[in-house]
Chain A
């Protein structure tokens, strides 16, 4: 598969067939609906003709080799790519039926609804408390001091961090362990009450125990949120997700229930990837 010519031939074959596999054959409500989405960095095309329907209150995993476009696609869902100069988006992304690239869309309000957790934990150089309170304050959701404290506690509890940090809320977030910092970032994202949570390889820098805690957390959170998680770890995708989308060379190759993707994928290239033959 590493031979570029082989790859291109395979891709050509896919392009004609892939549409029938892009939507899992289930009748479920749709939370996020991307339609023929193209994306470029300057003159480099990163995503081509992505169409996908993501369902609420399930975990959807994006898998694929490095550079396949899975993170780029994730970042189009809360328009995080807007802050990178020279990027261009074509097509539509409907969230609850509204095109987030349509005219009159308030990007700030969009990002509050579509929270994001990054690959590298990025706590602000502030206290644990202020990290969580930041989003509440800037969005005018702080209310009284006791309300603020309540929301902070609630968010930390949701992220399974409260018991570890309740006695040191005023200490710097940078003094926490890597796994704690990442759960803090999850708590921070949850504090502004989004309904979608995007996670960009949230456990890739963590040890197995911290990873397991994040995965358990993802499992709990899907009751309340729609979760999209990018991962390069196929066991992780198999463990935490209900649906899996496989990206390859900037295209969505296959999207289906996770159990089907890992046991009986429709595409040869998906099978090769999930069985570890390349990537």
Chain B
């Protein structure tokens, strides 16, 4: 048996190295292609230009319309997911009887297991027509409907992780508040919620990062029109949807147009990577406070 131990150790190490190697490879390709792209397009034109028309005869490479599209859809998603997620977390953690919590939490988490393509068609074929009955000006493709649906998709992420954070707040703190004559609401909102703040923030940032990286819903329901606008009722395009559009199209490899997806991909990667770092840092700090 002893002879096998080193073998197993090597096999395990290899598995670990493989995933690290893959990540490194992705970053390497992104970097190389991004630099190739930036040799032809000045970085200021890319980052601050307000027109994104890389496939036109006279191309323009200003990424701001795509960034604005991503930010708008994500903001709508967060506007839906944050209040609903936080309130259901407060309910589940502080108010719900144990039996209810044991049942509701897994059901809520099923929401996260629905394939995103289903959400996409749900947004396009159900939510948009529904919204059009109240908002006559709403275009068939728009930012609002995928934003709302995306909010529902990331809701379990917010509620489940926030609830975990609130559950991790020591019972002693709640007892301390009750002993001073606090009501359940005063204890939940003014002691437990602030005490779980860093954990909850980490959950929200993780959810935002999911929203920014989410592709299928926006590719299906938001349209493909890069447009710098604050109006959620008209078609827009997000960074992820643009990458899908070019990857699936017939843009020849090695051209400048082709390289745009790596530059956009790099930007996307840096954005979500930063958010994940902040989230991980907050979670580590949260654990420190109460262990």
Residues of A within 8 A of B (CB): 78, 80, 83, 85, 108-109, 111-112, 115-116, 118, 120, 122-126, 134-135, 138-139, 174, 185, 188-189, 192
Contacts and interface: CB of A to CB of B under 8 A. Distances in A.
- 4 cross-chain pairs, A with B, having the tightest CB-CB distances, nearest first: A112-B181, A135-B180, A122-B172, A116-B179
B181 A124 contact: no
Given A138-B186, A139-B181, A124 B195 contact: yes
A138 B182 contact: yes
B182 to A, nearest CB: 5
Main secondary structure of the interface of B (DSSP, over half): helix
Interface in B158-188: 170, 172-183, 186
A111 B191 CA distance: 17
Contacts of B176: 118, 122-124, 185, 188
Of A112, A118, A134, A139, the most chain B CB neighbours within 10 A belong to A134
Contacts of A111: 178-181
B97 A192 contact: no
A143 B212 CA distance: 46
Interface of B: 97-98, 170, 172-183, 186, 190-191, 194-195, 289
B180 A115 contact: yes
A115 B98 CA distance: 28
A118 B195 CA distance: 18
25 contacts: A78-B179, A80-B178, A83-B175, A85-B97, A85-B98, A108-B183, A111-B178, A112-B180, A112-B181, A115-B180, A116-B175, A118-B172, A122-B170, A122-B176, A124-B176, A124-B191, A124-B195, A125-B173, A125-B195, A134-B177, A134-B190, A138-B177, A139-B181, A189-B179, A189-B180
Given A138-B180, A138-B182, A120 B173 contact: no
A118 to B, nearest CB: 6
Given A118-B172, A138-B186, A138-B190, A109 B181 contact: yes
A135 B173 contact: no
A138 B172 contact: no
B97 to A, nearest CB: 7
Contacts of A118: 172, 175-176, 179
A108 B191 CA distance: 16
Of B97, B98, B175, B180, the most chain A CB neighbours within 10 A belong to B180
Of B181, B182, B194, the most chain A CB neighbours within 10 A belong to B181
A134 B289 contact: no
B197 to A, nearest CB: 8
B183 A124 contact: no
Contacts of B170: 122
A200 to B, nearest CB: 10
B195 A135 contact: no
A185 B176 CA distance: 8
Given A80-B175, A83-B175, A120-B172, A192 B180 contact: yes
B180 A188 contact: yes
Contacts of B182: 108, 134-135, 138
Nearest to B183: A108
A125 B289 contact: yes
Nearest to B290: A125
Given A122-B175, A124-B194, 4 more contacts: A118-B175, A125-B195, A138-B190, A189-B179
A248 to B, nearest CB: 26
A46 B116 CA distance: 53
Contacts of A116: 175, 179
B179 A80 contact: yes
Nearest to B196: A125
A139 B97 CA distance: 26
B194 A125 contact: yes
A124 B181 CA distance: 15
Nearest to B97: A85
Nearest to A191: B180
Contacts of B172: 118, 120, 122
